[in-house]
């Protein structure tokens, strides 16, 4: 889940705005957790990489 859809229980504002210390702490924690390898790739790029990987695998399978 992304923090831009979360609402703070402390101030009832979106966490992404960081209005209170609780929001800012939650936003920082969620940003650190979302730092995975594929986190910066768009869904379209992930699909393109998957298709490319399948094409390479199929090509290698046919040559063996």
The secondary structure of 16-45 as a DSSP string is GG--SHHHHHHHHHHHHHT--TTTTS-HHH
User: What mean pLDDT comes out for the span 39-59?
Assistant: 90
Tokens matching residue 43: 């869904």
pLDDT digits (tens, 9 = 90+) for 2-41: 566 788 888 988 888 888 999 888 888 877 776 666 667 7
Higher pLDDT, 46 or 52: 52
Looking at residue 2, its pLDDT comes to 58
Q: For the whole prediction, is pTM greater than 0.85? A: no
Domain locations along the chain = 1-33, 39-64
pLDDT reported for residue 20: 92
Q: What is the pLDDT of residue 41?
A: 75
């Amino acid at each position: 889940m992304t923090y831009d859809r979360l609402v703070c229980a402390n101030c009832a504002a979106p966490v992404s705005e960081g209005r209170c210390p609780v929001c800012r702490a939650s936003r920082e924690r969620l940003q650190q957790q979302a730092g995975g390898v594929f986190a910066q790739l768009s869904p379209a790029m992930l699909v393109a990489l998957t298709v490319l990987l399948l094409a390479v695998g199929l090509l290698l399978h046919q040559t063996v």
